[in-house]
Structure 1
């Protein structure tokens, strides 16, 4: 590279560094498509809270920074022997900033930033802001998300975190994940980051109300899927939120129903009564489910089968899980009717139906093996009899399990919905029926 180009690149690196000095105010970085430098001015643009770089200089800047980094700071002969001095560290950071903004898919340079953080050359808070700039342009950059997780893991291990700082950290992380998801559809990197962060917050749940946090995320996911019905990554996150909702205590559960403005038990009782077997009075069934305790609800819905396991069943958990699943099924019904021919909605429906069927199987200690239902021995009940030879798995009588009320209700509901969608010429209705028959093993009853 000739001297004129080198001088220009040095000027660009310096200008970028000066803008990044105000990194707390920056929100995004972009490459601006400009073919030639007509006005003979700096290609580094700083407008409001945005940093930009004109595209005509990207190749020269990238090659200059990459060559110097690899030859001077990342060479094998220097990696173990040479320590970076204060002046070199400043130069090193400037080059890393520029090259990772241009091409963040370079794990080697992210690892170098980790070393600088460990040596207290870079601050964790500043690095979190820097990754936001990177993700504003490359919202699917896995290396940036991985580096961000490393930083957050180190920050959350600090026992001296104030409640205000933790609240700001949570809001910032959720905002970045939402921004990345909004910029790029089916961005599983951002949704995985969001799930990882929520799981990580369980370690500091004493400092804030994590149950309220679960409720807010559940409501957020419902709004998101209503606007992005083809984004399966979000539906996967929705399933994650549904499982977190089941961790709520009694007080939080009442608050949850109030915030979503839905009476879950009433909706559940109405759907069960509507699809109950013909020999049962629908109004009586609905009234019983509204008045019964959780234990009586479970016994009533599974009354036609015999449970041989002696373990105590958490009926409150099972009843709430059914209420959430049927609420989700009702939402799925509306979305499929309103947004026709979206395969993602049908995939999410498979999850809901599978979870309902698994509640029945788990309640009676059943599992599907080689296409057949088999009875499994409860490991908890058998702890005192471990010396006895374990009996072989035997084929289970499917007629018994299929005769329980809950199974008949869900089968009746799916038959009606499939026929309704088939009449509307939705090709996914036939696919859903085949899934129930061959994947869930319901070919004999569908």
Structure 2
């Protein structure tokens, strides 16, 4: 069974032994050794870090892949399930885009021979080496969907949200929205995933946020990691206003440290757009106004642009924020608009609003003057070019 290179079986056993010796492996990578130099195993395990010398990768992958496909094609039932699980593990570690290997693992999860915790543990490890693997994120999404369904079933309807108007939604009243990982000494973990006890809903969702953040750190503009995070907010947190505001605050520091990463800004735009659709609950539950969040975001991005001149990603985000504010102010002035006067404000509070805040054209002119007096006079030629593009966009698209 497998490839003709007899070293493949030996490498496969070495990899399995590494996982048997240490169930806390939290990182995986290739070691740049192109030819065997000693009689030692190319599978290296040090301080919970797993490495495989590059010369052995092809041999190991060929053995594991061909063995797995041969079993798949002939359905050799005499091969133990654990052997197939280990073969699929070797394949996805080296080639995480192999959907067949992930599908085999799905079958074992469904049969109960492989736990969701173990598979979440492995896929998190895969992402430490392959942070932009779409198949790995897709598999995690499948696992988390099952986990959420099980949580809902175990709650026996007591935790179903009635505010959403849809069945099958987790109630936010039962969920801790602090998504920071606990700073305690837990039992053995795998990349933040606790696997020695029953998986806890809150801890697992916090862990997924952590996994997405680590993947985004390892690969710039990681669309798959941020899409996974959006999916999590939508399905695990129901896009609740508490979770959205919390994520808006939590990702502020990350975006400030990755100023050219467009995915970070796109994620914040998703959060703000979702909050726009929940303006009433935002005001009633958190005593926050959507306009205040937009104005804060505008101040935040203007400060970033001033601190780090010449980055187009920030200017694109500024366009989004400005357009959102402009349209929101315009909507407030529309006759018969249900949002006229901002939801949640009393008549007295609305009267205190300055004329500028309710005159979109004047507010837009103020923004234009701000750009002319600051960014357009920057010493950076790139900054001035981006500022001019922004002004041209304002005149053509927004100010009519």
* Fold-level similarity (TM above 0.5): yes
- Distance in 2 (alpha carbons) for counterparts of 1:322 and 1:98: 51
Superposition pairs of residues 370-409 of structure 1, within 5 angstroms: 405-409=359-363
- Does 2:250 correspond to 1:215? no
For residue 234 of structure 1, the aligned residue among 264, 274, 292 is 264
Match of 1:128 in 2: 120
Large movers: runs of 4+ above 3 Å = 1-5, 21-24, 84-88, 161-164, 210-215, 243-252, 360-366
Q: How many residues of Structure 1 are paired with residues of Structure 2 in the alignment? A: 333
1:357 Cα deviation (Å)? Answer: 2.3
- Whether the 8 Å contact between 2:275 and 2:282 is mirrored in structure 1 is no
1:250 Cα deviation (Å)? Answer: 4.7
Residues 151-189 of structure 1, C-alpha deviations (whole Å, 9 max, x = no match): 000001113379781121022111101100111111111
1:363 Cα deviation (Å)? Answer: 4.3
- Whether the 8 Å contact between 2:68 and 2:87 is mirrored in structure 1 is yes
1:112 Cα deviation (Å)? Answer: 1.8
- Distance in 2 (alpha carbons) for counterparts of 1:335 and 1:132: 32
1:121 Cα deviation (Å)? Answer: 2.1
Aligned CA distance change for structure 1 residues 433 and 41 (closer, same or farther; 3 Å): same
Larger radius of gyration: 1
1:132 Cα deviation (Å)? Answer: 0.6
- Distance in 1 (alpha carbons) for counterparts of 2:271 and 2:101: 35
Match of 1:102 in 2: 94
Aligned CA distance change for structure 1 residues 42 and 243 (closer, same or farther; 3 Å): same
For residue 420 of structure 1, the aligned residue among 369, 374, 380 is 374
Q: Which runs of 5+ in 2 are unaligned?
A: 156-173, 176-198, 338-355
- Distance in 2 (alpha carbons) for counterparts of 1:219 and 1:202: 16
How high is the TM-score relative to the length of structure 2? Answer: 0.75
- Does 2:299 correspond to 1:346? no
- Whether the 8 Å contact between 1:17 and 1:94 is mirrored in structure 2 is yes
Match of 2:82 in 1: 90
- Does 2:189 correspond to 1:189? no
1:61 Cα deviation (Å)? Answer: 1.3
Match of 2:204 in 1: 169
- Does 2:215 correspond to 1:180? yes
For residue 253 of structure 1, the aligned residue among 264, 286, 289 is 286
1:56 Cα deviation (Å)? Answer: 1.0
- Whether the 8 Å contact between 1:24 and 1:129 is mirrored in structure 2 is no
Match of 1:115 in 2: 107
Superposition pairs of residues 32-43 of structure 1, within 5 angstroms: 32-43=31-42
Residues 77-105 of structure 1, C-alpha deviations (whole Å, 9 max, x = no match): x4xxx4x6373422221211111101111
1:359 Cα deviation (Å)? Answer: 1.7
Superposition pairs of residues 13-28 of structure 1, within 5 angstroms: 13-21=12-20, 24-28=23-27
- Distance in 2 (alpha carbons) for counterparts of 1:349 and 1:250: 24
Residues 277-332 of structure 1, C-alpha deviations (whole Å, 9 max, x = no match): xxxxxxxxxxxxxxxxxxxxxxxxxxxxxxxxxxxxxxxxxxx2221111111111
Q: Which runs of 5+ in 1 are unaligned?
A: 257-319, 367-376, 379-401
- Distance in 2 (alpha carbons) for counterparts of 1:218 and 1:245: 10
- Whether the 8 Å contact between 1:31 and 1:53 is mirrored in structure 2 is yes
**RMSD value, Cα:** 3.0
- Distance in 1 (alpha carbons) for counterparts of 2:124 and 2:357: 55
Match of 1:330 in 2: 299
- Whether the 8 Å contact between 1:218 and 1:245 is mirrored in structure 2 is no
1:253 Cα deviation (Å)? Answer: 2.6
